[in-house]
Protein backbone atom coordinates (compact mmCIF):
# COMPACT_ATOMS: atom_id res chain seq x y z
CA UNK A 1 0.00 0.00 0.00
CA UNK A 2 2.92 2.34 0.62
CA UNK A 3 3.58 2.57 -3.15
CA UNK A 4 0.18 4.23 -3.59
CA UNK A 5 1.36 7.31 -1.70
CA UNK A 6 1.62 10.43 -3.95
CA UNK A 7 5.31 10.89 -3.16
CA UNK A 8 6.08 7.47 -4.69
CA UNK A 9 4.56 8.33 -8.09
CA UNK A 10 6.71 9.68 -10.90
CA UNK A 11 6.40 13.43 -11.37
CA UNK A 12 7.57 15.59 -14.26
CA UNK A 13 11.12 16.99 -13.85
CA UNK A 14 11.17 20.20 -11.88
CA UNK A 15 8.04 19.38 -9.88
CA UNK A 16 8.19 18.33 -6.27
CA UNK A 17 5.08 16.75 -4.81
CA UNK A 18 4.66 17.58 -1.13
CA UNK A 19 4.92 14.65 1.20
CA UNK A 20 3.28 15.16 4.57
CA UNK A 21 4.92 12.13 6.17
CA UNK A 22 7.58 13.04 8.74
CA UNK A 23 11.15 12.51 7.61
CA UNK A 24 12.38 9.33 9.18
CA UNK A 25 15.52 7.35 8.63
CA UNK A 26 14.00 5.33 5.81
CA UNK A 27 12.62 8.07 3.58
CA UNK A 28 15.03 10.96 4.29
CA UNK A 29 17.57 9.91 1.65
CA UNK A 30 14.87 9.54 -0.99
CA UNK A 31 13.51 13.03 -0.16
CA UNK A 32 16.97 14.59 -0.44
CA UNK A 33 17.46 12.93 -3.84
CA UNK A 34 14.09 14.33 -5.01
CA UNK A 35 14.97 17.85 -3.86
CA UNK A 36 18.36 17.75 -5.58
CA UNK A 37 16.79 16.44 -8.80
CA UNK A 38 14.17 19.20 -8.67
CA UNK A 39 16.76 21.93 -8.12
CA UNK A 40 18.99 20.66 -10.95
CA UNK A 41 16.16 20.55 -13.50
CA UNK A 42 15.10 24.11 -12.61
CA UNK A 43 18.71 25.33 -12.81
CA UNK A 44 19.03 24.04 -16.39
CA UNK A 45 16.07 26.20 -17.37
CA UNK A 46 13.22 25.41 -19.71
CA UNK A 47 13.84 23.20 -22.73
CA UNK A 48 14.94 25.10 -25.83
CA UNK A 49 12.98 24.75 -29.09
CA UNK A 50 13.52 26.16 -32.57
CA UNK A 51 10.57 27.46 -34.58
CA UNK A 52 10.26 28.54 -38.19
CA UNK A 53 7.65 31.24 -38.79
CA UNK A 54 6.56 32.24 -42.31
CA UNK A 55 4.84 35.62 -42.23
CA UNK A 56 2.60 36.47 -45.21
CA UNK A 57 1.07 39.79 -46.15
CA UNK A 58 2.47 43.27 -46.66
CA UNK A 59 5.59 42.64 -44.59
CA UNK A 60 8.44 43.83 -46.78
CA UNK A 61 9.47 47.48 -47.02
CA UNK A 62 7.83 48.37 -43.68
CA UNK A 63 10.71 47.66 -41.27
CA UNK A 64 9.43 44.21 -40.37
CA UNK A 65 12.83 42.48 -40.18
CA UNK A 66 14.44 45.19 -38.01
CA UNK A 67 11.44 45.31 -35.66
CA UNK A 68 11.32 41.51 -35.44
CA UNK A 69 15.04 41.38 -34.66
CA UNK A 70 14.61 43.95 -31.86
CA UNK A 71 11.68 42.01 -30.38
CA UNK A 72 13.56 38.69 -30.52
CA UNK A 73 16.62 40.22 -28.82
CA UNK A 74 14.35 41.81 -26.20
CA UNK A 75 12.95 38.33 -25.47
CA UNK A 76 16.44 36.80 -25.35
CA UNK A 77 15.88 34.52 -28.36
CA UNK A 78 18.47 33.48 -30.93
CA UNK A 79 18.09 32.92 -34.67
CA UNK A 80 17.49 35.08 -37.71
CA UNK A 81 14.93 36.82 -39.93
CA UNK A 82 15.01 37.34 -43.73
CA UNK A 83 12.90 38.42 -46.70
CA UNK A 84 11.78 35.76 -49.17
CA UNK A 85 11.39 36.27 -52.91
CA UNK A 86 7.60 35.73 -52.77
CA UNK A 87 7.15 38.85 -50.58
CA UNK A 88 6.90 37.02 -47.25
CA UNK A 89 9.30 37.01 -44.30
CA UNK A 90 10.90 33.94 -42.73
CA UNK A 91 11.83 33.89 -39.04
CA UNK A 92 13.78 31.13 -37.36
CA UNK A 93 13.98 31.60 -33.61
CA UNK A 94 15.23 29.46 -30.76
CA UNK A 95 14.48 29.57 -27.05
CA UNK A 96 11.88 28.52 -24.47
CA UNK A 97 8.43 27.77 -25.91
CA UNK A 98 6.67 30.52 -23.93
CA UNK A 99 9.04 33.16 -25.37
CA UNK A 100 8.67 31.75 -28.89
CA UNK A 101 4.91 31.98 -28.47
CA UNK A 102 5.29 35.63 -27.48
CA UNK A 103 7.37 36.29 -30.62
CA UNK A 104 4.77 34.53 -32.77
CA UNK A 105 2.01 36.70 -31.31
CA UNK A 106 4.12 39.76 -32.12
CA UNK A 107 4.68 38.44 -35.68
CA UNK A 108 0.91 38.17 -36.17
CA UNK A 109 0.64 41.94 -35.59
CA UNK A 110 4.01 43.13 -36.85
CA UNK A 111 5.27 46.72 -36.75
CA UNK A 112 3.22 49.77 -37.67
CA UNK A 113 2.63 49.78 -41.42
CA UNK A 114 2.66 45.99 -41.81
CA UNK A 115 -0.47 44.09 -42.84
CA UNK A 116 -0.06 40.49 -41.74
CA UNK A 117 -2.38 38.00 -43.44
CA UNK A 118 -1.10 34.89 -41.69
CA UNK A 119 1.80 33.23 -39.89
CA UNK A 120 2.78 29.65 -40.69
CA UNK A 121 4.54 27.67 -37.99
CA UNK A 122 6.94 24.74 -38.05
CA UNK A 123 9.39 23.18 -35.63
CA UNK A 124 13.07 22.51 -36.35
CA UNK A 125 15.90 20.90 -34.36
CA UNK A 126 17.67 23.43 -32.08
CA UNK A 127 21.05 24.73 -33.31
CA UNK A 128 22.18 26.31 -30.01
CA UNK A 129 23.04 29.68 -31.61
CA UNK A 130 23.46 32.59 -29.22
CA UNK A 131 22.66 35.58 -31.45
CA UNK A 132 19.82 36.98 -33.53
CA UNK A 133 20.52 38.58 -36.91
CA UNK A 134 18.88 40.04 -39.98
CA UNK A 135 19.73 38.13 -43.14
CA UNK A 136 19.37 39.51 -46.67
**From 65, 70, 82, 112, the catalytic residue:** 65
β-bridge pairing 132-135 and 78-83: parallel
DSSP state of 68: H
Q: Is 83 in the active site? A: yes
d(CA 100, CA 110): 15
- Catalytic: which of 83, 104, 112, 135? 83
Q: d(Cα 110, Cα 58) in Å, to the nearest integer?
A: 10
DSSP states of 8-53:
GS---TT------SPP-HHHHHHHHHHHHHHHHHHHT-SPEEEEEE
Check if 82 is active-site. no
Distance CA 27, CA 116 (A): 57
Give me the active site residues, please.
Answer: 65, 83
Amino acid sequence: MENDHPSQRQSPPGWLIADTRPLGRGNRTAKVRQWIKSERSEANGPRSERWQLLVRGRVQGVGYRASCCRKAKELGLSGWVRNLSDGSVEVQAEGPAHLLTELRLWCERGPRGAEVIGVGHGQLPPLKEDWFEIRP
